[in-house]
Amino acid sequence: DAGVIQSPRHEVTEMGQEVTLRCKPISGHNSLFWYRQTMMRGLELLIYFNNNVPIDDSGMPEDRFSAKMPNASFSTLKIQPSEPRDSAVYFCASQNPSGGLTDTQYFGPGTRLTVL
């Protein structure tokens, strides 16, 4: 299996622009998570989906952030408009449905976002 795939790996944009980050989970995994990693705040959960349905989006910073999972093999995280404080590494992770709570999350390589 190719693992969790994220694109792009690096994104540099200017303040005010729309940014879309993409994630393809491991085939057969039905839970998907979006995390943000910064030096100041560490690794934070933004949102997670079960069976394509958002379960907990309490970590989404504000209305500028939105996430979708139109099908089991694809998810997007969008920031509109972007701001310099959004600069971070964004990780996507997926999880096998059979293990439930205790099963392992598999992380993608991350997208490093820089907003100028």
Partner 1 sequence: AQSVTQLDSQVPVFEEAPVELRCNYSSSVSVYLFWYVQYPNQGLQLLLKYLSGSTLVKGINGFEAEFNKSQTSFHLRKPSVHISDTAEYFCAVRKAGTALIFGKGTTLSVSS
33 binds partner 1 (CB under 8 A): yes
Contact, 79 vs 17, CB < 8 A?
no
Residue whose CB is less far from partner 1, 51 or 80: 51
35 in Cβ contact with 52 (< 8 Å):
no
Rounded CA gap, 110 and 116, in Å?
19
The pattern of x and - marking residues 36 through 65 that bind partner 1 according to CB under 8 A reads: ------xxxx--x-------x---------
Chain residues that interact with partner 1, rule: CB under 8 A = 4, 33, 42-45, 48, 56, 91, 93, 101-102, 104-105, 107-110
